[in-house]
Amino acid sequence: MSTAHGTAPATDENAQIRQIILDARDATVSRATVSDDSPLVVYFSSISGNTHKFVQKLRARLVRLPLHTKEESPTVTEPFVLIVPTYGKPDGAGNVPPQVVKFLNNPENRAQLRGVIGAGNTNFGPLFGIAADIVSRKCDVPVLFKFELMGTPADVEKVNEGLEEFWTQNSLQR
């Protein structure tokens, strides 16, 4: 679209272009095989989509939390594992994304949470994946694993095997 100042696209066109890029990215990631009794994973992933890419490779049923806190958060009625990236602020506050805080503020969701997996970046040193430690402490569930960015193939395999074992050990099959 042309504007008075040239050919810069309007903001809504930018949003459309962003969506096309995201869809194209997704199309390059093939989804792992999933059955009705596969483990249930709830995850948050921002526009950068690292966690989203990681979970596509899991043999798990997936629920993605909304990108914006103003959107309605789901209520989950069966056991699940949460995957949460860390988004720290310079003052050390807000490591757990507000979208995840909103979801976990619902006691029905907290009652079904069985474990947490952290995503992050090791450049953050001791704050690597700290959102998972915070959720673990506040909700009294174990940190099952941490991975960096979109994870390596070895991370994917460890999480797939770990989830299967965790589901069997805790008799979480439906």
Ligand X SMILES: Cc1cc2nc3c(=O)[nH]c(=O)nc-3n(C[C@H](O)[C@H](O)[C@H](O)COP(=O)(O)O)c2cc1C
Binding mask 143-162 for ligand X (x = CB under 6 A): ------x-------------
Contact pick of 42, 81, 119, 144 for ligand X (by CB under 6 A): 119
* Residue 145: DSSP 8-state: E
Contact pick of 56, 121, 141, 164 for ligand X (by CB under 6 A): 121
Select from 37, 33, 31 the least CA-distant residue to 164.
37
Determine the Cα angle at 129 with ends 126 and 133, to 5°.
90
Give the nearer residue to ligand X in terms of CB position, either 115 or 129: 129
Shortest distance (Å) from residue 12 CB to ligand X: 23
Say whether 169 sits in a helix, a strand or coil: helix
**For the chain, how long is the longest CA-to-CA vector?**
64
Give me 20's structure tokens: 């096309």
Shortest distance (Å) from residue 166 CB to ligand X: 22
Instruction: For residue 65, give Cα distances in angstroms to 10, 104, 120, 141, 170.
Output: 28, 11, 17, 19, 25
Contact pick of 38, 51, 99, 136 for ligand X (by CB under 6 A): 51
Q: Rule CB under 6 A: is residue 50 a binding residue for ligand X?
A: yes
Say which amino acid occupies 70. Answer: K
- Round to whole Å and give the CA distance between 127 and 148: 12
Q: Rule CB under 6 A: is residue 46 a binding residue for ligand X?
A: yes
Q: Rule CB under 6 A: is residue 56 a binding residue for ligand X?
A: no
Say which amino acid occupies 13. Answer: E
Give the nearer residue to ligand X in terms of CB position, either 76 or 119: 119
Binding mask 62-91 for ligand X (x = CB under 6 A): -----------------------xxxx---
Binding site for ligand X (CB under 6 A): 45-46, 48-52, 85-88, 95, 119-121, 124, 127-130, 149
